[in-house]
Amino acid sequence: MSTWRHYLFLVCFATTALALSVRVVYLGVTERDFLQEEGDRRSVYKEDLPAMRGMIYDRNGEALAVSTPVFAVAVNPKLFDATNQTELSELARVLELGAGELERTILNNRQRGFLYLRRHVSWERMDAVRQLKLGHVSLVPEYRRYYPAGESVAHVVGMTNIDDLGLEGIELAFEEQLRGEPGTKTVLRDRKGQAIDDLEYGRAPRFGTDLQLSIDSRLQYIAYRELKSAVQSHSAKSGSLIMVDVKTGEILALVNQPSFNPNGPINQRIPTRNRVVTDTYEPGSTIKPFTAMAALETGRYGSDSKIETSPGYFWIDNKMIQDPVNLNTISLSQAIQKSSQVAIAKVTLDLPEGSVFQVLQRSGIGEYVGTGLPGEAIGRFSNVGRTSRVSRVVMSYGYGFSVTPMQLASAYVTLASHGNRLPLSILKRTRPPESERVFDIEAAAEVVAMMEQVTERGGTAAKASIDHYRVAGKTGTARVLGQNGYNDERHVALFAGIAPVSDPRIVMVVVVNEPQSGSASGGQVAAPIFARVAEHSLRLLGVMPDKNRSGVDESPRANTLLAKRDR
What domains, with CATH codes, occur in the chain?
47-212 (3.90.1310.10), 217-262+274-565 (3.40.710.10)
Q: How many DSSP H helices and E strands does the chain contain?
A: 19, 21
* Higher-scoring residue by pLDDT: 44, 302: 302
Q: What is the pLDDT of residue 486?
A: 84
Q: What is the pLDDT of residue 504?
A: 96
| Closest C-alpha to 522, from 284, 270, 358, 229 | 284
DSSP string, 27-93: HHHHSHHHHHHHHHHHHEEEEEEPPPPPPEE-TTS-EEEEEEEEEEEEE-TTTS-TT-HHHHHHHHH
Chain length of the chain: 567
Write the pLDDT tens digit of every residue in 254-285.
999 999 999 987 767 788 899 999 999 999 99
Q: Taking the C-alpha atoms of 230, 232, 233 and 238 in order, what is their torsion angle to the nearest 10 degrees?
A: 60
Res 557 pLDDT > 60 = no
Q: What is the pLDDT of residue 30?
A: 62
Q: What is the pLDDT of residue 106?
A: 87
Which of 135-139, 349-353, 537-541 shows the lowest per-residue confidence on average (mean pLDDT)? Answer: 135-139
Res 110 pLDDT > 90 = no
Q: What is the pLDDT of residue 13?
A: 78
Write the pLDDT tens digit of every residue in 488-504.
888 999 999 999 999 99
Averaged pLDDT, 150-169: 93
Q: What is the pLDDT of residue 532?
A: 97
* CA dist list (Å): 553 to 462, 498, 500, 541: 17, 15, 10, 20
Res 512 pLDDT > 50 = yes
- The confidence band for 556, taking pLDDT boundaries of 50, 70 and 90, is very low
Residues 222, 309: Cα–Cα separation, whole Å: 41
Q: What is the pLDDT of residue 192?
A: 56
* Beta-sheet pairing, 319-322 with 329-331: unpaired
Averaged pLDDT, 279-300: 94
Instruction: Sheet with 195-201: list strands edge to edge.
Output: 44-49, 183-189, 195-201
258 preceded by cis ω (within 30°)?
yes
- The confidence band for 566, taking pLDDT boundaries of 50, 70 and 90, is very low
Residue partners of 426: CB distance under 8 A and separation at least 6: 156, 170, 213, 214, 215, 251, 254, 371, 372, 373
- The confidence band for 311, taking pLDDT boundaries of 50, 70 and 90, is very high
* Higher-scoring residue by pLDDT: 565, 366: 366
Q: What is the pLDDT of residue 561?
A: 42
pTM, full prediction: 0.86
- The confidence band for 81, taking pLDDT boundaries of 50, 70 and 90, is confident
3-state SS, residue 445: helix
Which of the residues are catalytic?
285
Averaged pLDDT, 51-56: 92
Give the ranges where 133-286 is alpha helix by DSSP (H). Answer: 154-157, 169-173, 175-178, 217-233, 275-278
Q: What is the pLDDT of residue 560?
A: 45
Res 304 pLDDT > 90 = yes
- The confidence band for 348, taking pLDDT boundaries of 50, 70 and 90, is very high
Query: In the predicted model, what is the mean pLDDT of the chain?
Result: 87
Q: What is the pLDDT of residue 14?
A: 79
* Percentage, residues of the chain above pLDDT 70: 88
